[in-house]
C-alpha cells in the first residue's frame, strides 16, 4: 500500500480519491476454514495520512451488505466487512472532532453482483461457490462510485433490495437474519453442486 501511494504521488502529485476495493472471501463453516485464510486488506492508513496533510480528499471503502447483515459460512468475510463499516464510522468521528469538513469517508455496501468474486473465493463447503440472491449488474455500484467522487455520502447500499433489507433489519433484526441464514444455507449448501475445497485467490492471484 505504501508503494502504491508513493507511485501515485510521483505520477499525479496528489491523491484526490482513494478507493479500497480489494477483497476476497473464504466460504465455509468457521472452524473448517484454515486460520491463514481469515484475513483482510485495506489502504486507509496511507490515504488518510495524505488527506490530513493536504486538508482534503475522499476515501471510499467498499464493504458489503454482509457488513450490516451477517450470513452463515461467511464468518471471516463478515468480520472484515463489519470492520470496514466500523473503521469508516470511526474515521468520520475523528474528522468531526477535528472540525474537518473537506475530507470525506464513504462506505459502499453492495448486494451480490455478477462478477468473478465467487469463482475466485476460498471455499470449504464442498459445494460450488454461489451468490446469495438476488444478484445485480456491477454497473450499479460502478455508477455510484463515480457519483461519490464528486458528491460524497457517508453510507450507500447498492442494489435495491439491500436498502429494504437494511431498513427491515433495523426494525426486526432477528427475522431478517433468520431469513438471510436460511437463504444462504439453501443456495450454498443444499442446492449448489459438489465441488473440491479450495483457498481460491486468498494467497495468490490466479
**CA proximity to 60, closest of 141, 140, 136:** 141
**Rounded to whole angstroms, how far apart are CA atoms 153 and 156?**
7
Contact 113, 136 (CB under 8 A): yes
Among the listed residues 45, 73, 74, 77, the single catalytic one is 77
- Retrieve residue 160's grid coordinates: 435495491
- Retrieve residue 188's grid coordinates: 450454498
Q: Is 77 a catalytic residue?
A: yes
Give bridge partners of residue 113 from the DSSP assignment: 136
User: Which of the residues are catalytic?
Assistant: 77
Amino acid at each position: 500500500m505504501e508503494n502504491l501511494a508513493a507511485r501515485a504521488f510521483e505520477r499525479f502529485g496528489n491523491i484526490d480519491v482513494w478507493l479500497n476495493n480489494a477483497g476476497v472471501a473464504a466460504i465455509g463453516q468457521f472452524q473448517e476454514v484454515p486460520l491463514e485464510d481469515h484475513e483482510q486488506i485495506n489502504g486507509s492508513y496511507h490515504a488518510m495520512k495524505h488527506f490530513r496533510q493536504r486538508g482534503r480528499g475522499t476515501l471510499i471503502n467498499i464493504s458489503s451488505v454482509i457488513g450490516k447483515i451477517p450470513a452463515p459460512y461467511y464468518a471471516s468475510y463478515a468480520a472484515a466487512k463489519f470492520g470496514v463499516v466500523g473503521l469508516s464510522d470511526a474515521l468520520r468521528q475523528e474528522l468531526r472532532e477535528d472540525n474537518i469538513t473537506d475530507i470525506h469517508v464513504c462506505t459502499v455496501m453492495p448486494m451480490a453482483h455478477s462478477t468473478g468474486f465467487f469463482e475466485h473465493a476460498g471455499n470449504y463447503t464442498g459445494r460450488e461457490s454461489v451468490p446469495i440472491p438476488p444478484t445485480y449488474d456491477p454497473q450499479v455500484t460502478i455508477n455510484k462510485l463515480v457519483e461519490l467522487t464528486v458528491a460524497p455520502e457517508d453510507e450507500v447500499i447498492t442494489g435495491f433490495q439491500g436498502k429494504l433489507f437494511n431498513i427491515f433489519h433495523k426494525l426486526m433484526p432477528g427475522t431478517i437474519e433468520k431469513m438471510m441464514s436460511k437463504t444462504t444455507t439453501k443456495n450454498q449448501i443444499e442446492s449448489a453442486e459438489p465441488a473440491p475445497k479450495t483457498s481460491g485467490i486468498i494467497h495468490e492471484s490466479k
